[in-house]
Amino acid sequence: MKIEVLVSTMNLENPQNLLEEMNIDKTVIINQVQEKKLQDITVGENRCYSYQEKGLSKSRNKAIMHSDADICIIADDDLKYEDNYEKIVEEGYKKYPDADIIAFHVDNVNKKLQKAIRKEGKINFITSMKIQSVQTTFKRKSIIDNSIKFNEMFGAGVELYSGEENIFLSDCIKNRLKIYYIPNKIATIQDNNSTWMKGHDRQYFNAKGATFYAISSTLYCFFIIQYAIRKRKRYKKEMSVLNAIRYMCEGVKKYKKEKRG
């Protein structure tokens, strides 16, 4: 079973340093740059490809395209992996041989941002919305055979800067892929300084609304209303419930317009 870590990064000058910082080997690194000065690099089982473009989802899709692994691990450049992460992932797929995707636990150095460890078992449509992209591993063949990609209109680096992992997992579920969660730790997030999250502002809610529509064009209104009400304590100092709903609906309109081209 070949396992590769698919790393998305920007303006990387020394891939070897990144591999040491992340404690990984057997990787595909996608390096997005402003000017393509660096050559593509291959060192042992590690490959680094540079592209003059922006967008996290583009980076994820390029990494999947370049990978030849049986199992892929989605990664950002601010993670540090456990020494035995490959063994943990491999044992997970041996435990659940029918799994197409397995999400593992990722710790956070900032305990206030720590996600609760959830019960082991199968992930459904609702619980998939709580999974972060960096928790996600998958059988590459399952993704390729079903023509599933990250939606490049979403993700850091574009206007709709979040939600790409939720859309990706919902597309997997629509294609009847099997998703499991195992609460075994594979990595720790080292850097909590978000490059895209600037608070619960208009753009944040635009992205949320568009994400809900991309997940379901029939249930998005329900998702928008329940999110605005359920999360109101989180954003009440920055936004009213009505404005949150209005801006999410605005995001839906923007997404529809952009999708039409």
Give the global pTM.
Answer: 0.91
Question: For 77-136, what is each residue's pLDDT tens digit?
Answer: 999 999 999 999 999 999 999 999 999 999 886 555 555 667 899 999 989 988 999 999
Over residues 58-71, the mean pLDDT reads 97
Q: What CATH topology corresponds to 3-189?
A: Spore Coat Polysaccharide Biosynthesis Protein SpsA; Chain A (3.90.550)
| Tokens encoding 151 | 């939606």
User: Can you tell me the distance from the alpha carbon of 31 to that of 59, in angstroms, rounded to the nearest whole number?
Assistant: 8
Question: For 202-243, what is each residue's pLDDT tens digit?
Answer: 999 999 999 999 999 999 999 999 999 999 999 999 999 999
User: Can you tell me the distance from the alpha carbon of 64 to that of 73, in angstroms, rounded to the nearest whole number?
Assistant: 10
Q: Are 190 and 106 in contact (CB under 8 A)?
A: no
Report the candidate in 74, 83, 129 with the shortest Cα–Cα distance to residue 101: 74
Neighbours of 39 (CB within 10 A): 9
Element counts in the chain: helices (H) and strands (E): 9, 10
3-state secondary structure of 76: strand
Residues of the chain above pLDDT 90, percent: 79
User: Can you tell me the distance from the alpha carbon of 88 to that of 96, in angstroms, rounded to the nearest whole number?
Assistant: 12
Q: Where are the domains of the chain?
A: 3-189, 202-260
